[in-house]
Structure 1
């Protein structure tokens, strides 16, 4: 799940160069020598997720000797842009990992296969009906959840403890979080955490803690310029005080843990999703821990469980049955589950999920225990956002950059964003 971003790939020359590289990979569903079917499978994630995925794919190929799977992965932002180029060119992968925010866009754009066509191959009966429904658009199943995840405050355990600042509690509020960031900065001489002003995900959690939402059920904005001004004023003051990371650090975020202030040793804490936070372990060898997202001042939680990511099949694949078999394997095969662990969140197959806690270890167990600690305390997830939100994430980040570089006030940037958002959602 994404939590960060970068500025890259804006120039048309860069996009064209990337497109040239991608189209050199061959068409979707090509055939290899010896009569094997070749499937392209792409995802975003960290090196830990990649290593496990490669192991799982090797097991799939062993069980399906007539199929060879070409794999590729990248950080979330690069992946999102790469997939957009592929989709626009009619060259979408056979099997692709998808975010909540991409489903409506790609289903409506005829990029995704209606999975009803392969329902005999792709089994979904052991997935919670409510969770499964999040992959539907206009009553058709276009994507299947692959895991369940939630946002978290991930922090350098040793550094936080050494600072003397009390560790996060289960019921802390945004005000308490801000106080801790200030105190950590004073004790450690570096920002307490990453500036969350650039993150639409963090803003959504904050909004939900106020009893509001990003979008209404009819796909309009669920908040006002006043709400966004309040959020950006809150984060702007923290950044000016040195309590959270400066602009030159947050504008380097690209969805990878390696380029976060926490990953670079320039902050004590960060906002991220639970499963991808395993990537910090290679960068913070003394260990990291997970804490709940801050709640509203009256204790209203903004955090929620959501499908950590989805799997979809390309609408134009030449091999829909083999592609569906790969999706089915990744979701329902016990051998694949043992390999993948919780790297994409807690498994959605209910039988496998029941077996999961006893077989987890290390950070996978940390994620499982973290989710278990939140059971029964969070509100229901929102519906999948409208397709316009995919573009609005970039707009959100761009407008906050103007605030963090002090080129616009929080009010000016918020009004600019709301104006653009309304226009985008009407289009």
Structure 2
């Protein structure tokens, strides 16, 4: 899947000379309040619904803690990441912030994040240990997972059924998936649509394939966990499907920009896609009631290769003047039952076990579909990988760029794979 991601490491470097361009409401180190109150700046990305729910939860926290004022701000994902990188580089990171999986390592090793493990006000017993570990860098808990998601195949079940193709199961293999894509593409019922978005451009799908082979995207030392041969085989497999007309053509795949509207399924040129479960809800307005979620095919040992990934984290600034209050606020957002009822699934299915049990029966609409989809994997998925190393965000762009060369047949899968490995090793050494 192609996603619009700002490369954190590059942004932090570039904005050092622009650190005065964007400033918050007071420095992170001396966030003062009024009338003797403590003021904490809290920022996040999201949509208006998430904002409204968050403001309501903040109001409840302030009511319970009249000595603390929470100064809030939010923006769209790309704008938020760029502004946060600017603030962090200028030493003005907000007291409490929402973080992406791919920001943790960079921000932690740059001294931007507070070690939350030192603050007893933060309770973590309700969060799965595997999920909790994704916020650990060099043995310290720098971020806490807010919610969880897992990879999915959103698909038009109505077209799938009309084509007479067997519905996806929790046990289907990659060979089963490929056969289904060929049948969907060949069926007159799909009206000229291909079976799926070409998975060759997706580092996420490649990672799932690697996990199914007992390998990983990154090794424990932060280097690559796969070889040029592994990537060559993957891109050769994708190219074969593309040439057979089972997955999207190059000109369709290269239009992907992170929005559902510009993905082949959103444009009405494919029957299915690859995405994370929560963002897949965006297809509902396009596909309609026929939108379903299927699991990714199982690995070579017959078990699921996908995993529960934190959809986002909360962290605090290492320079906050009020670390205890910041820890107390994060604890409230993650663990308080009333806060959980207010926030619901606005940030995804809660990572906290007890909150999740309380929230799930009250979900509506496509959130119910996501909940049911996740429920089938309870206790069956392996632990998520650690937070990606520095350079990962940049490498995602490189991965997509190199496969574009393959899909347009300007480079062979072998040439592109070797080019990627060379650039990846250089990037990870920085």
Residue 102 of structure 2: aligned partner:
101
Deviations 1:243-270 (A, max 9, x none): 3233344334333334333233332211
Q: Does 2:197 match 1:190?
A: no
Taking structure 1 as the reference length, the TM-score comes to: 0.85
Distance in 2 separating the partners of 1:247 and 1:195: 8
Contact 1:87 1:111 in 2 (8 A): yes
Q: So what's the TM-score if we normalise by structure 2? A: 0.85
Could you say what the CA RMSD is over the residues aligned between the two structures, in angstroms? 3.2
Q: 1:70 aligns with which of 69, 72, 85?
A: 72
Whole-angstrom distance in 2 between the partners of 1:175 and 1:275: 26
- SS of the residue corresponding to residue 217 of structure 1 reads coil
* Distance in 1 separating the partners of 2:369 and 2:125: 28
Counterpart-to-counterpart distance in 1, 2:20 and 2:178? 44
- In the alignment, structure 1 residue 394 sits paired with structure 2 residue 397: yes
Aligned to 1:159: 159
Max Rg structure: 2
Q: Matched residues in 2 for 1:383 and 1:141: separation?
A: 12
Please tell me whether the aligned partners of residues 6 and 393 of structure 2 are also in contact (alpha carbons under 8 angstroms): no
Which ranges of structure 1 fall in alignment gaps of 5 or more residues?
none
- Counting only pairs closer than 5 Å after superposition, residues 86-165 of structure 1 correspond to structure 2 as 86-117=87-118, 119-165=119-165
Q: 1:22: Cα distance to partner?
A: 6.7
How many aligned residue pairs are there? 418
Q: CA deviation at 1:401?
A: 2.2
Gaps of 5+ in 2: none
Q: Structure 2 vs 1, CA of residues 73 and 404 (structure 1 numbering), >3 Å: closer, same or farther?
A: farther
CA contact (8 A) 2:133 2:386 kept: no
Cα distance in 2 between the residues matched to 1:381 and 1:8: 23
**What is the alpha-carbon distance in structure 1 between the residues aligned to residue 324 and residue 392 of structure 2?**
31
- Contact 1:6/1:253 (<8 A) preserved: no
CA distance in 1, matches of 2:102, 2:194: 30
Q: Which moved more, 1:255-264 or 1:414-423?
A: 255-264
Distance 1:371 1:32, change over 3 A: same
Contact 1:39 1:323 in 2 (8 A): no
Kindly tell me: are residues 27 and 184 of structure 1, through their superposed partners in 2, closer, same or farther at Cα, counting changes over 3 Å?
farther
**What is the distance in 1 between the residues matched to 2:292 and 2:103?**
30
**Cα distance per residue 1:345-396 (max 9 Å; x no partner):** 4322232233333333332232222222123433333333322323322221
1:379 matched residue in structure 2:
382
Q: Is the 8 A contact 1:211 1:300 kept in 2?
A: no
Shift of 1:397: 1.9
Aligned mate of 1:215, from 218, 224, 230: 218
Q: Please give the secondary structure, in 1, of the residue aligned with 2:405.
A: helix
| Residues 19 and 86, structure 2, Cα contact 8 Å, conserved in 1 | no
